[in-house]
Amino acid sequence: MMRFDPHDPKYFDKQELDSEYKRIVDICNGCRLCDNLCPPFVDLFDRIDAEDDKLTAVGQGNENPVHELKPADYKHVTDTCYQCKLCYPKCPYTPPHEYQLDFPRLLLRAQAIDVKENGKSLQHKLRDSFLGDADKTGKIAQQFNTIFNWANKNAAVRSLMQTTLGIHKDKTIPEYYKPDFEKRFEKEHPKSVTTPVDKVALFYTCLMNNNRPWVGEQFVEILEAHHISIIVPEQECCGMPELGTGELDLVFPKVDRNIKRLLPLVEAGYKIIAMSPSCSMMLRLEYEQYAKDKEAAKKIAAATVDPCEYLMQLHRKNILQTDFPAAGDMKISYHLPCHLKVQNIGFQTRDLLKLIPGSAVTLIQQCSGHDGSFSMKQEYYQISLDAGKKLFKAIEKEKPAQVASDCSLAHLHIEEGTGEIALHPIEIVYQAMGFTTHLKAN
């Protein structure tokens, strides 16, 4: 039986993990629905087939090749998994099935145990601190954003970063803008809505706050135009970066603090709008696993929505203004982010974009391969680009006037892989609605 709760002391039982890993890999080998889904699965099945060939060659072809895999084989799968989670919705054996199979969480557990037992090299500690602690890095970058942005584009500096931190010198790093979204929101003092039709709290997320603040401003302007009352509560990084590097001691307190801040709002009737797919996924699907107060986490999960999902909710209530006075004919290739897909909310963003008169929207359901800080790491950079090739080819085939994605990190990979500049769907909707105040970052 798979162990999901990281608060359970046996969660860190290495012997139990090894047994569970073999059980699940044996099931996966017999199924193979995820073959060619991502590099880790391709590598895993190649290793199993290689062992099968060896057994066959010595007349033992009826033996189970999974039993021949070595610890290094399992570790390689763990290390190269970038937690896109696409295998979960594809898998026929997820809970409540008796097999209780959750491959992404199995690998998160394996990584957490590895970090706890073996630690990290100094380089990896520094790198994970720089890339993983988005709040700390963001605050520093806010103070010196001009220098920070220059350094991230300087070849000599990037070569030094690769040598010292292991951040690939060719990987595009998002730019930092000053002031951030939180300060802009406080300064502008959004107008009071006297008769609100709804009330929402923005979980603005690190990326939106530091790297795409104008998108948050645009979304606020759209909501205010529809008589939605908006607040921006105290918050911090959702914890996804640390979860992806196996540092659960850093994840637990972040999760609990955010729950403590958001719970009173949920109980007061606020919806929580998380502006990044990875963050909405954390609030909806992961917080219950890592929180002390699991009932509170369930309430927050039930109240969490994606921004485009929320606008479609307004549309179904006949609240959303759909005349789009500034709309024009546009061919849009819309990339559905993995962490939005795994939330099983349908194609809300695609449907929103299709409401715009003159829009021709093509849905692309391929992983960008960026996946948090994974693609920024020297040893995984090329793997991440290879993982994004299907998306890149689909975009190049469509030759769209505009590429859109809800994931701001996917924007970076799309630009690297195709040369196309991607926008957040909110930017397209904002312009089609005729708003102009926050068109550019400044």
Lowest mean pLDDT, pick from 182-196, 218-232, 322-336? 182-196
Q: Give the separation between CA 112 and CA 106, rounded to whole angstroms.
A: 10
Does an H or E element contain 409, and which?
A: helix 408-418
Has residue 371 been placed in a domain? Answer: yes
Using a pLDDT cut of 70, give the percent of the chain over it. 98
- Average pLDDT over the chain reads 94
Please write the tens of the pLDDT for every residue from 169-202: 999 999 999 999 999 999 886 666 778 999 999 9
Please write the tens of the pLDDT for every residue from 385-412: 999 999 999 999 999 999 999 999 999 9
Please write the tens of the pLDDT for every residue from 341-364: 999 999 999 999 999 999 999 999
Please write the tens of the pLDDT for every residue from 97-116: 999 999 999 999 999 999 99
Q: Are residues 62 and 126 in the same domain?
A: no
pLDDT value at residue 133:
86
Has residue 65 been placed in a domain? Answer: yes
Q: Are residues 111 and 131 in the same domain?
A: no
Mean predicted confidence (pLDDT) in 44-73: 94
Q: Are residues 292 and 189 in the same domain?
A: yes
Q: Give the separation between CA 389 and CA 406, rounded to whole angstroms.
A: 19
Assess whether pLDDT exceeds 60 at residue 74.
yes
Our count of domains for the chain comes to 4
- In the structure encoding, which two tokens stand for residue 142, read together? 């806010």
pLDDT value at residue 190:
64
The radius of gyration of the chain from alpha carbons, rounded to an integer in Å, stands at: 22
Amino acid at 307: P
pLDDT value at residue 247:
92
Has residue 3 been placed in a domain? Answer: no
Assess whether pLDDT exceeds 90 at residue 316.
yes
Quote the domain boundaries for residue 150. 122-165
Unique residue bearing structure tokens 């715009």: 356
**Torsion angle defined by CA atoms of residues 17, 23, 26 and 30, in that order, rounded to the nearest 10 degrees:** -130
pLDDT value at residue 440:
72
Beta-strand relationship, 271-274 and 198-203: parallel
pLDDT value at residue 23:
95
* Start-to-end C-alpha separation, the chain: 53
Has residue 338 been placed in a domain? Answer: yes
Assess whether pLDDT exceeds 60 at residue 207.
yes
- In the structure encoding, which two tokens stand for residue 356, read together? 């715009």
Beta-strand relationship, 228-231 and 198-203: parallel
- pLDDT band of residue 130 (cuts 50, 70, 90) is confident
pLDDT value at residue 162:
96
Q: Give the separation between CA 337 and CA 388, rounded to whole angstroms.
A: 12
Mean predicted confidence (pLDDT) in 136-158: 92
3-state helix, strand, coil in the chain (%, to 5): 55, 10, 35
Assess whether pLDDT exceeds 70 at residue 122.
yes
Q: Give the separation between CA 301 and CA 299, rounded to whole angstroms.
A: 5
Last residue of a domain, one of 132, 165, 198: 165
Please write the tens of the pLDDT for every residue from 46-55: 999 999 999 9
Q: Are 326 and 433 in contact (CB under 8 A)?
A: yes
Q: Are residues 262 and 327 in the same domain?
A: no
Has residue 292 been placed in a domain? Answer: yes
Last residue of a domain, one of 165, 199, 226: 165
Last residue of a domain, one of 165, 194, 224: 165
Q: Are residues 48 and 111 in the same domain?
A: yes
Q: Which residues are registered as beta bridge partners of 231?
A: 201
Q: Are residues 22 and 128 in the same domain?
A: no
Q: Are 270 and 201 in contact (CB under 8 A)?
A: yes
Beta-strand relationship, 359-364 and 422-423: unpaired
Assess whether pLDDT exceeds 90 at residue 61.
no
Q: Are residues 96 and 114 in the same domain?
A: yes
Amino acid at 196: P
What CATH number did the domain enclosing 393 receive? 3.40.50
- pLDDT band of residue 19 (cuts 50, 70, 90) is very high
Burial of 196 (0-12, 13-18, 19+ CB in 10 A): middle
Assess whether pLDDT exceeds 60 at residue 442.
no
